[in-house]
Structure 1
Amino acid sequence: MPLPAKAFQHWLHDVAPATSTADICRTSGIKRTTLAQQLVRGKVAETTLVSISRALQRSPLQELASFENYAELAGNTRPPTPAELVSQIATMDLLRAVIDRSDSAAALPELSPGADVPAAATPELSPAPHATSVRNWVDAIDDGELRHRVSAATGVAPQNYSAQLTANRLSPELAVATAREAGVGFTGGLVAAGLITEAEAGWPPGARQRALDALSDGELAALAGERLQTLGKALRRQEHEQAQTEKIWENLG
């Protein structure tokens, strides 16, 4: 839910009383016309608050929690579950981990008896979010009825909710509502949707890597297989749509 313009203006005066709107926009990278339009409409986007908070070197999460709409963020400090952390690892990073483990296992028999196993260099994971981070996050916390509960609690039609997941986007309001209905911490959805970073969410450094390392070889292979299957479906759908578009253009001459 966008932030009320009056509340936002009070907040801005409190955190930057001596800074002009022009300076705020310049340092935060927000166009003055964009901010002006949001204020006129009476609704300021959460992304605007986050950008300004970063520019002022303030915590986006804490500043967001200072608004009534998101006050519950301040009272929920539960860390992400291992499943949530793994959901924010890109598919290509999962596949790379499968290959790295296979290569390491294949090399072990070649070592001399009693020799130390060399520590493999761990490639740095791509930052969250990734191409399917939102859907993966919801799948990671879904008990089978989560989508229905979110729709009932928010009034958002199931098809509209699913459309956001398919497009890999989720409004901050829906992200918080989803976490609430799933009984997990509120930061997972905000990171998955790209509103805040892992560090801004308070996730410990290397948390995603540790969650990945904790997966057994079988769990990792199964997860990578599921991601590949999903990717394959998406690519086939894109190819079909492209073929249909080309056919239409051909018929139009």
Structure 2
Amino acid sequence: MHKFNYTHRQKLIKSDIGISTFVNDKNLCFYLHSLDLERYEFPEEAEISLEAKRLTTHMQFSLGTIANPEFRPHKNILSEFHDPSEIQFRVKIIEPATGMLLGEVDNLKAGSPNDDESGLGDSLLPIMSENLEDMVWFLDMTDTGPVLLINSNQIKSDVSTSDSFRALVFPQIIYQIFTHIYYIEKLDYDEEDTDYWVQLWYKFAIKEMGSQTLPPPIDAENTDIKDWITQATATFAKRLDCNRLYTKLMEG
């Protein structure tokens, strides 16, 4: 097992790595459908390592070297996992002679961040099943970003993608997340940061609202911050057409 030296470690950009999952002969497998590492100028002999994880479950895979990556999708069997949407991936680039960690990216999700109608997707808002007793859902603000928990007694995909759930819950999720960012994380918008979860959510809001409505700084007036959070929530609700979905739901 490598003992990693973190000197001069580069932070990989999530969009440079694409991971997909599929089922082959009843086995859940993964493959890298995109891997763009040229900009980092890693040595050709550097090793590519991938870790799949959920809570206390971990699996490690060796994917060859920078010069000769081994994609071998049918051999990358995720035997310890059942639900691909609950798996997070970590990719590391390692100098084999010294064990130096040359680069890494954590908390990757399989699939595109724009796979669903909401535009949130698993990369921005992972969805996991947990025993929530009498609660249908709960927004867990972890150190690596928000995670939407759905009661394990529910069918996760049906609940989180239903019209009623989108109309009633998703705007509230947006409001909770940005309230947490401003009053707990207390981090300003940084245009150059393309990886930290807070900045990814800021960029999501700017994409929704338009670049003319940038997030106010942390030290802005409280009313300005609340107005911006409310506007971000309302803009998201309008794009999802939440009022129409709710009216349709009530009319049966």
TM-score (normalised: structure 1): 0.25
Who wins on radius of gyration, i.e. which is larger? 1
Question: Greater strand share, 1 or 2?
Answer: 2
Q: TM-score, normalised by structure 2?
A: 0.25
Structure having the higher helix fraction is 1
Larger relative CO (CA 8 A, sep 6+): 1 or 2?
1
